[in-house]
Chains A and B, each alone.
Chain A
């Protein structure tokens, strides 16, 4: 008598919430960040030694603009996902845990926007 749909079996077992989304996003951004690390290291190096005009021109080159933008998007997302796991592992109290994760996500969202807008403002110069 197989009149039951799969849904009836799943009901009452609790929410799957976001399922494997977090895990999968962590891996996808990790793989993306392997090549994107080039732009991070280059940016740190230029920032330490190159004059303003050189760094500005480097960032304004289309490939570098996209590389840095992609790095920012992937890195901040990856960092937020990672810090979430760390918080979930070490913060015991449920309320503290939820608030900390929210706080980290909020701060990282703001930092992402700040960094992205800084890139756009820089490439408009000249």
Chain B
């Protein structure tokens, strides 16, 4: 079946180095799944708040640990990344921004924007 061997191969992950846009695309999906899991914490937090001061205090003891703080800032970064890349999806849905040059420029813009937004929230929230 030589004809079959001549068929073009799809860009398989083991032989194809993902371009930046491809990395961002799969990261968008991964952050989406992780953020969905993070929603469990929001339910936990709200339920504890509804149960009263003692339950709330136990969540806070949990949230105050350094690794939970790190995790929650990772969550906020993932949120901003997903938000920025999501905005780009909305631009694409409007039928714009498909040129290769624009794609690569937007890729860097959204990476920078998500970092800046995370830093700005960190500064604002640490201030008060």
Q: Give chain A's interface residues, CB within 8 Å of chain B.
A: 27, 30-31, 33-34, 37, 40-41, 43-45, 47-49, 52, 55-56, 59, 68, 72, 75-76, 79, 82-83, 86, 111, 114-115, 117-119, 121-122, 125
Contacts and interface: CB of A to CB of B under 8 A. Distances in A.
Given A44-B76, A118-B50, 5 more contacts: A40-B42, A41-B79, A43-B42, A44-B42, A82-B32
Interface stretch (B9-17, B55-63, B95-103, B108-116): B55-63
B64 A48 contact: yes
Which residue among B39, B52, B63, B69 has the maximum number of chain A CB atoms within 10 Å of its CB? B39
A41 B43 CA distance: 14
B72 interface: yes
B33 A86 contact: yes
10 contacts: A41-B76, A41-B79, A41-B121, A44-B72, A48-B63, A49-B64, A52-B52, A79-B35, A79-B39, A83-B32
Contacts of A37: 79, 83
A114 B43 contact: yes
B105 interface: no
B4 interface: no
A78 B67 CA distance: 28
Contacts of B93: 27
B40 A111 contact: yes
Nearest to B75: A44
Nearest to A48: B63
A115 B46 contact: yes
A97 B83 CA distance: 27
